[in-house]
Amino acid sequence: MTRWFWPRGLRVRLLVAFALVTVLGAAAAAWSSAGSASTALVSSAQQRITETVVGQIRAITPQLTYPPGQDALDRLRAAVVGDTLVTYQDLRSANFTGPDLVTAELRTAVRTRNRLVTQRITVNGTPWLLVGTPIMITAPDGARTPSGIEVYSVHDLTSVEEEINGLTRSAVSTAALALPLAVLLALLAAGSVLRPVRQLRNTARRLAAGDLNARSAPQGADELAELTVTINEMAESVQTSMAAMRRMQADARRFAADVSHELRTPLSTLTAVVEVLATTADGMEPDARESAQLAITETHRLVRLVEDLMEVSRFDAGTAHLRVEDVDVAGAVRDCLRARGWLDQVEVSAPNEIVLRLDRRRLDVIVANLVGNALRHGGPPVRVRVSASREQVRIEVTDSGPGLPEHVLPHVFDRFYKADAARARTPGSGLGLAIALENARLHGGDLTASNTAAGGARFVLSLPREDA
């Protein structure tokens, strides 16, 4: 289906609309004037010709005898200027230089109406005016009766047609001359209208880029000025809200960092005590041993939580840095699994020749979080597959469990988010995947979550190659 072209730019649309309205208005006015003048010209020419014919007939009719003979008809025909036809019963007198243009319609109208009748026709592109009239006999008492004599006169209206064509050309010229003026006026109007619009656009772009101090000065008292004031008020409100939000976020981050830092020393002491407690737990009574084991587990969980909070605080403060080195990715993955005793529980598919410059410790954190989650919440077998292309290295961790519910996928990397409230006391801190994502981004890569075709969860770590 053909689509009509319509310019998209506001300036172009204003120019086109303004020019169209002006030109159409000028054209309509010119055409209306030309039409009125054309009608007046035709009416004037018709009236002039009719009056001339009537005057010439009146001048000769007192000299006619009734009933007329051929000589009388010839004298009457000669008295009328132009191509003329005079008829009386079977008699006829004509001096047509061209074809006989008198129509049967005109003759019928003259005979039935007994008065002067005019008709305009066009033959072979030439306009003609036909005038037909009966000769009336006036009695002494004033009564008028048809004499039976009919006069038909034919007149060329080419000169009138040429005048009308001249008026039409003048109308076209007027509309054409209006176009440059319309464009000039449209440019001026568009400039005055679009200047504040461009200022608002630039202000909006600065706001979108993060410059919350961007403002536009309102000009005038029209709708654009009101819009400018509204946008300035909106920007002021956003700036105030963002400043308050930043203060709250900074306070929250500083609080988490301070609390984590302050907890390290007492937790170190508590950890030492718990380790001593763990060595003597076997000789305790069952109830005491159970309480001791619970204290040991919760202490280790608290230590991990504090360590994760410290790590998150470094990311938030922008103080987390990479210590890059050439790392055999396959070897680093196997070392991570071996250190945690997971080699027998995980299927690893990794070519040994993939070497990447990255932070080994942070890669270990990412892999440990992904595989640990798969072992705890997924189903066996858990698989780790390493692959490489010219642009990036991918580490894919999948399991055969129930997978991630659709409502969980958008939040799986949120801090402290747990899909199942029943797992609130699991060993994890709720920060593992968030820290893994931050570490991936710190390397310039990304970490995504999805489900496999079989239903299990899939996490894919993408790390860019240095040459890419």
pLDDT in tens, 374-384: 998 888 899 99
Between residues 121 and 318, which one has the greater pLDDT? 121
What pLDDT is attached to residue 146?
79
Pairing of strands 457-464, 446-451: antiparallel
Average pLDDT over residues 255-268: 65
Q: Please name the residue that has the structure tokens 């029209």.
A: 222
Between residues 208 and 191, which one has the greater pLDDT? 208
pLDDT over threshold 60, residue 3: no
Per-residue confidence band for 139, with pLDDT thresholds at 50, 70 and 90: confident
Single out the residue of 85, 89, 93 nearest to residue 67, CA to CA. 89
Of 116-130, 416-430, 445-459, minimum mean pLDDT range:
416-430
Most trustworthy range by pLDDT among 127-136, 189-198, 309-318, 336-345: 336-345
398-417 pLDDT per residue, tens: 999 889 999 888 889 988 77
Of 429-438, 442-451, 456-465, minimum mean pLDDT range:
429-438
What pLDDT is attached to residue 346?
93
Cα(227)–Cα(408) distance, rounded to whole angstroms? 41
Per-residue confidence band for 312, with pLDDT thresholds at 50, 70 and 90: confident
Most trustworthy range by pLDDT among 38-47, 158-167, 283-292, 429-438: 429-438
Average pLDDT over residues 279-290: 73
210-224 pLDDT per residue, tens: 787 878 777 766 677
Of 23-32, 42-51, 355-364, minimum mean pLDDT range:
23-32
Between residues 135 and 250, which one has the greater pLDDT? 135
Per-residue confidence band for 247, with pLDDT thresholds at 50, 70 and 90: confident
What pLDDT is attached to residue 369?
92
pLDDT over threshold 70, residue 45: yes
Structure tokens at 257: 């960092």
Per-residue confidence band for 52, with pLDDT thresholds at 50, 70 and 90: confident
Pairing of strands 346-349, 355-358: unpaired
Average pLDDT over residues 274-293: 73
What pLDDT is attached to residue 186?
66
Structure tokens at 108: 């019928």
Most trustworthy range by pLDDT among 140-154, 160-174, 265-279: 140-154
Q: Which residues contact 321 (CB under 8 A, 6 or more apart)?
A: none
Cα(184)–Cα(177) distance, rounded to whole angstroms? 12
pLDDT mean across residues, the chain: 79
What pLDDT is attached to residue 33?
65
The amino acid that residue 44 corresponds to is S
Per-residue confidence band for 97, with pLDDT thresholds at 50, 70 and 90: low
86-96 pLDDT per residue, tens: 888 888 888 87
Measured distance between the N- and C-terminal CA atoms of the chain, rounded to whole angstroms: 45
What pLDDT is attached to residue 424?
45
What pLDDT is attached to residue 89?
83
What pLDDT is attached to residue 370?
94
Average pLDDT over residues 437-444: 92
CA angle in degrees (0–180, nearest 5) for 365-360-309: 35
Average pLDDT over residues 262-277: 70
pLDDT over threshold 70, residue 57: yes
User: What are the structural domains of the chain?
Assistant: 10-165 (3.30.450), 224-317 (1.10.287), 325-464 (3.30.565.10)
The alpha carbon of 215 is separated from its chain's Cα centroid by a whole number of angstroms, namely: 26
pLDDT over threshold 70, residue 261: no
Cβ–Cβ contacts within 10 Å for residue 379, how many?
15
pLDDT over threshold 90, residue 166: no
For the chain, give the percent of residues with pLDDT over 70: 77
